[in-house]
Copies of this chain bind each other. A is one copy, B any other.
């Protein structure tokens, strides 16, 4: 019997590279998701989404918001008229709805496994962008099972 504890071997390089690549892809879409989610929330709560409110809630300057909104517009998620409020395109609304659903699910899941609401809200902000469909389904199953068990 071997006594030397074999260190877990590294995964194949290609697999690892693919994971990091998907990771970078998720990072790229995260900002867009956060913005459209916030814009949708503002439209719902205030009836309008103004750059100044986005800046305040994102904790960035208005100039940054203008630049980011430009990218969202270029990517077909948002429609703007100069000096007017923001509106979501169909694609933007879809993304916002999906992002919001994911966000809520992650928050509920984190609370269910023992996190306090405030921390759950904070952590969900980051985790929601990195949970795959399979993971979200697992979270849902977990919540359903817990609910069934009482």
Contact = CB atoms under 8 A, between A and B. Distances in A.
Contact of A113 (B59, B114, B142): B142
Which secondary structure dominates chain A's binding surface?
A: helix
Indicate how many identical chains form the complex. Answer: 2
Given A23-B126, A123-B131, A135-B119, A59 B17 contact: yes
Nearest to A21: B59
Interface residues of A, number: 48
Contact of A13 (B56, B115, B132): B56
15 contacts: A9-B45, A10-B42, A13-B53, A20-B34, A23-B125, A26-B126, A110-B138, A115-B134, A115-B138, A116-B134, A123-B132, A123-B134, A127-B127, A127-B131, A130-B130
Nearest to A145: B114
A139 B9 CA distance: 25
A59 to B, nearest CB: 3
Contacts of A71: none
